[in-house]
Amino acid sequence: MKEMLQEPGSVRIIDAADGLPLALHDLGGEGSPLLLLHGITANARSLDAVAEDLLDQFHVFALDFRGRGRSGSPSRGAAIPEHAADAAAAIHAIGSPVHLVGHSLGALVGLYLTGEQPELVDHLVLIDGAGDVPAANLEAIGPSLSRLEQEYATFEDYAATFRMAPHLQPWNSFVDAFLRLDARTLPGGAVRSRVEPGIIRDELLANSTLPTLRLSQEKIRRPTLILRAAAPVAEGLPPVFDRATCLQAHAVNPQSLLVELPHLHHYSIGLQPSALRRAALRSFLLPASQT
């Protein structure tokens, strides 16, 4: 019988080191614990498609980063080490070690955390995020950043805008779950994203001044799967994570495997069903007898 994702209400609130409440979603399944970490403007439900690939073999959890989803909102954005501390708090709440699967910012957080606290992680999966992002490639995440500034009269107006966004097509239940967790109703009834634009600006600035993530790449001593979305988000733009960065991360980690997914872009790699992604994840995370 096919495993089903838990309803969004299955959420545990845990405390970050500074006392900020963090939302840890229990997405269901049985087996070893697996934690999903989402991208910079996303939330815990943005990787439901990935969760569904693995629910029949793992107990899947997903964390809302601070300022996203149902987690508390801080006064400023967090740098990667702060998000890594929050992820560590989630892992301690679940029970370590976990299989750690991150997308985009979540992948960079997972990379940093595994380098600093390897005892918390069994296997590491980096989905379209394996090291420093070339500045020219940041233009590809423009659609996600621009939506944070918008306010809509009703939830229906908000949803309609999402449904027309080319990078979110085709629409499905995974995209819908992400949207519903992202939406926040204001006191007057208008709707906007839960993610404050100022938080994201803070984080982009804070992370741009960090030492290179090459240091984290070189520390990793855990089996690591690097999944790269090789398609561009839009015509004329490069893929968000370039091949050279992924090859570098692969080269310095003798326990790593690099798999490129040619027909998926930075958003569809987490939001759309994919037989190739499912096969790569299961082949890496499961014994051969269970794939």
Look at residue 216 and tell me if it is in a domain.
yes
Q: Among 215, 200, 213, which Cα is nearest to 65's?
A: 200
Euclidean distance between CA atoms 98 and 191, whole angstroms: 36
Look at residue 3 and tell me if it is in a domain.
no
What does DSSP assign to residue 64?
P
Q: Choose the weakest-confidence range: 135-144, 165-174, 202-211, 272-281.
A: 135-144
Three-class secondary structure of residue 176 per DSSP:
helix
* Residues making up the chain, counted from first to last: 291
Composition of the chain by helix, strand, coil, percent to 5: 45, 20, 40
Range of the domain at 216: 11-290
Q: Among 181, 163, 171, which Cα is nearest to 62's?
A: 181
Structural tokens at position 83: 């998000």
Residue 45 has pLDDT above 70, yes or no: yes
Euclidean distance between CA atoms 110 and 9, whole angstroms: 25
Three-class secondary structure of residue 175 per DSSP:
helix
Inter-CA distances, 65 with 74, 165, 203, Å: 11, 24, 12
Look at residue 4 and tell me if it is in a domain.
no
pLDDT tens-digit series, residues 171-201: 999 999 999 999 999 999 999 999 998 999 8
Residue range 91-120: mean pLDDT, rounded? 96
Q: Choose the weakest-confidence range: 89-103, 142-156, 187-201.
A: 142-156
pLDDT confidence of residue 263: 95
pLDDT tens-digit series, residues 161-171: 889 989 899 99
Inter-CA distances, 153 with 10, 60, 185, Å: 29, 35, 10
Look at residue 6 and tell me if it is in a domain.
no
Look at residue 229 and tell me if it is in a domain.
yes
Residue range 198-213: mean pLDDT, rounded? 86
Domain count, the chain: 1
pLDDT confidence of residue 284: 97
More confident residue, 229 or 290: 229
Burial (0-12, 13-18, 19+ Cβ within 10 Å), 267: buried
Whether pTM > 0.85 for this model: the answer is: yes
Look at residue 162 and tell me if it is in a domain.
yes
Look at residue 5 and tell me if it is in a domain.
no
CATH number, domain of 236, equals: 3.40.50.1820
Residue 212 has pLDDT above 80, yes or no: yes
End-to-end Cα, the chain, rounded Å: 16
Look at residue 75 and tell me if it is in a domain.
yes
The share of the chain scoring above pLDDT 70, in percent, equals 92
> Do residues 145 and 288 touch, judged by C-beta distance below 8 A?
no
pLDDT confidence of residue 2: 40
